[in-house]
């Protein structure tokens, strides 16, 4: 019998306002980390689904977790000089990880940094 890895259960335990250390303690370290900046003309960070709103030009920290069927993306905002969980989404596998950029075209991002590799 083959067991398929799934991250759905630990991800459901995440709540807005958690720090990256809190998220890592529950889900483990991400497979990919991406430092992003919202473009000046972006309204992406003002969506109702984000717990902490992110203004154009603000930094965004994106963590990506991969399982057999999904890219699970966790976004952190920096509303009070510390990173806080603002949104967690599960997207079809390859939408984030294979493109090497953010799941949302509205975010301008630097190259993805994979954990355990040299910068």
Give the pLDDT confidence of 14-25 residue by residue, as tens digits.
Answer: 999 999 999 999
- Arithmetic mean of pLDDT, 30-49: 85
Whether 106 has a pLDDT exceeding 90, the answer reads no
- Average pLDDT of the chain is 76
Distance CA 77, CA 115 (A): 20
Please compute Rg for the chain using Cα positions.
14
pTM of the model: 0.73
Distance CA 91, CA 103 (A): 8
Residue 46: phi and psi, rounded to 5, are -105, 5
- Please tell me which residue, 46 or 63, carries the higher pLDDT value: 63
Residue 99: phi and psi, rounded to 5, are -80, -30
pLDDT score recorded for residue 46: 82
Q: How deeply is 60 buried, as exposed, middle or buried, from its count of CB atoms within 10 A (0-12, 13-18, 19+)?
A: buried
- Please tell me which residue, 102 or 34, carries the higher pLDDT value: 34
Distance CA 71, CA 93 (A): 5
- Arithmetic mean of pLDDT, 6-35: 88
Domain ranges of the chain: 8-114
pLDDT score recorded for residue 7: 62
Contact between 114 and 97 under an 8 Å Cβ cutoff? The reply is no
Residue 63's pLDDT band (cuts 50, 70, 90)? very high
């Amino acid at each position: 019998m083959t067991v398929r890895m799934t991250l759905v259960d630990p991800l459901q335990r995440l709540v807005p306002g958690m720090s990256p250390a809190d998220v890592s303690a529950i889900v483990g370290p991400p497979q990919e980390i991406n430092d992003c900046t919202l473009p000046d003309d972006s309204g992406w960070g003002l969506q109702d689904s984000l717990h902490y709103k992110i203004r154009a030009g603000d930094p965004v920290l994106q963590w990506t977790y991969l399982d057999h069927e999904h890219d699970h993306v966790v976004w952190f905002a920096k509303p009070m000089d510390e990173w806080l969980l603002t949104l967690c989404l599960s997207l079809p596998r390859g939408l984030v990880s294979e493109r090497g950029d953010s799941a949302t075209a509205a975010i301008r991002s630097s190259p993805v940094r994979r954990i355990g590799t040299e910068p």
